[in-house]
Amino acid sequence: MERLWERSDLYALSPSRPRPLVSSDEIYEIGLRLLSDGGIFYSPSESELTALAEKLIESGAKAIGLGILHSAQYPEHEIGVAEKIESLTGIRVFASSSLAAFPREYERWGLASLAAYLAPVLGKYLEELSERCQSRVALMGSSGGLIPARHANANPASCVLSGPAGGALAAMASGRSRVLALDMGGTSTDVTLLAGRIPRTRESEIDGLPIPLPMIDIHTIGAGGGSIVHFDTGGMLALGPKSAGAVPGPACYGHGGPATLSDAALVAGRLISGRFLDGAMPLDILASRNALESARPAMMKVDELIDGVINLACVHLTGALRRISVARGIDPSIKDKMFTLVPFGGAGALFAVECARELGLSEVLHPRAAGVFSAIGLLTAPIALERETALLESAMNARDSILSSLDRLKAEIAGDFTELNQSVEPVFTTNVEARYRGQTHSLEIALPERIDGDSLKRSFEAAYRERYTYTHPDSDVEIVAIRLRGEISGGEIEIDDIETGNRNFERSKIGDSTIRFDRKWMNAPIYERKTVPIESEIQGPALISEDFDTLVLPPDSSMHLDRKGNAIITVNG
């Protein structure tokens, strides 16, 4: 996982490390040591396990993560200890080898601690949900497929980016071949690059913590509508990553919350106080203004603070979009290969057009029902189950191990599909993780049709050359792990054309607003999206209001609705 070796704050004089999920006083040693060949160097006695169990009970732990060296290749010892501790304590134990057959212990043990961190909350939720539902429960997994509730409960970390995964699936069905998806909610923003396929990775991070699980390649930043406006120790304006959350929420919620991005957007005229949640929850603009007054330095005017906050939000969003495109060698603004920006979530359309202009994009597609777009994607999700096993064998000698592992993994996945009452034959995809012997980093490649040492080495070196521009032809290639994904495609959602009978351009204008763009106040009409006629062009500046979000149309941009109700925005300049 190469990101572990990157310095995210290259110029920070005092760089900060991510806060660990488990503090040092909550870490306990166990007297079990495996050798690299699976032999036992030291095994804990019954009395040692009993004494450890008593300490764990006294600590008040609600779940436990267990990690032992070399357990990826030889999991039976770690699983046995986990079962013993669980029986002695009555506390759930997550063995790292049961979560990921991954040789590197740092990532694997971190995954075990993350699973234990999430288990009490997710486990209680799934228990209550299963009791209320009359049928089997499936959840969206971070890899873009539905997984049984039992699997989610066994590995809670597999669902950490389930919401954004649904949004990526929905964006794939937007009718555009090249998409930058921007999902902005109250706490964070998730961005994904989609170029004809769903990109997956095992190098995801959340707040600097690696997650070595198959996930849709989503980059997350701490910028959302609830991001708190503040000034750092150097006096520089900052936004987030701390959020006001839902309680107390932004100041405009009226519950005494701090100044946030939503408050700046409201005072700047980008949000309509009486139209929030279709009018069910009016926003308190006076509370927003007072919170911003309290947050600003004495020498700064409120208008200047608003400008700075909105500009900073756009910088954060544009930076995230550049990280998944330009930083990977993909220029989204190239003519004939230009990407379309697809914003969704409750706050995505507030700043999307300005981000598109900054990136050099000419089109923004704001989908119908953008506020619940991720839920629409979930309805199209396939049922997808994955299994993996560690090998650590030379590619030249790995054929028999690969074939026997594939038979076992296929049998396990087939059993899970049977449990879900799925009679359709799943489509299987097999990947292997390989590296040059002696290297730390590895690459995941598709298993070649011909399974032999030469074919494996050729496939690996082609991928290695593509990534690094060179190879080591005299070095031995080592197969680290084999992974199998079984998938049964989900249903396609047929979105009806929007009705046209009750649409009238004059009636669609429901008011006027004063909006701040480019450090100036401008008059802008407000249109109700559900009454705007198809193909009628609206010129910016304007606001397009609907039940669960607001589309901000800056100057030098225009919008029309297509037959599906999507807002197609043309960005000029």
| Residue 548 confidence (pLDDT) above 60 | yes
**Arithmetic mean of pLDDT over the chain:** 89
User: Rounded to an integer, what distance in angstroms lies between the CA atom of residue 373 and that of residue 179?
Assistant: 15
The model's pLDDT over 128-137, given as tens digits with 9 standing for 90+, comes to 888 888 777 8
- Residue 363: exposed, middle, or buried by beta-carbon count in 10 A (0-12, 13-18, 19+)? middle
Half-sphere exposure of 289 (CA within 13 A, CB side): 9
Read off the tokens for 401. 């191990």
Min mean pLDDT across 31-35, 95-99, 180-184, 392-396 is at: 31-35
Higher pLDDT, 416 or 70: 70
How far the first Cα of the chain sits from its last, in Å, is: 39
| Residue 237 confidence (pLDDT) above 80 | yes
Confidence of residue 2 (pLDDT cuts 50, 70, 90): very low
Q: Is the peptide bond before 103 cis (omega within 30 degrees of 0)?
A: no
* Helices 302-323 & 352-359 angle (0-180, nearest 10): 60
The model's pLDDT over 473-483, given as tens digits with 9 standing for 90+, comes to 999 999 999 99
The stretch 351-361 carries a mean pLDDT of 96
- The DSSP output letter for 183 is E
Non-local (6+) Cβ contacts of 289 within 8 A are 267, 302
CB burial string 476-494: b at 16+ within 10 A, e below? ebbbbbbbbbbbbebeeee
Read off the tokens for 322. 């550049």
CA 198 from chain centre, in angstroms, equals 13
Per-residue pLDDT, 1: 41
Which residues, in sequence order, are bridge partners of residue 206?
209
Percent of the chain with pLDDT over 90: 54
User: Rounded to an integer, what distance in angstroms lies between the CA atom of residue 573 and that of residue 557?
Assistant: 9
The stretch 311-334 carries a mean pLDDT of 93
Per-residue pLDDT, 341: 97
| Residue 39 confidence (pLDDT) above 50 | yes
User: Rounded to an integer, what distance in angstroms lies between the CA atom of residue 37 and that of residue 222?
Assistant: 43
Question: Phi and psi dihedrals of 550, rounded to 5?
Answer: -130, 135
Instruction: Calculate ∠ Cα 385-480-71, nearest 5°.
Output: 80
Query: What is the SS3 assignment for 62?
Result: coil
Non-local (6+) Cβ contacts of 156 within 8 A are 114, 115, 118, 119, 122, 123
The model's pLDDT over 155-181, given as tens digits with 9 standing for 90+, comes to 999 988 888 899 999 998 888 999 999
The stretch 554-558 carries a mean pLDDT of 95
Per-residue pLDDT, 34: 87
| Residue 380 confidence (pLDDT) above 90 | no
Min mean pLDDT across 125-139, 463-477, 519-533 is at: 125-139
DSSP annotation string for 115-167: HHHHHHHHHHHHHHHHHH-SS--EEE-TTSSEEEHHHHHH-GGGGTTHHHHHH
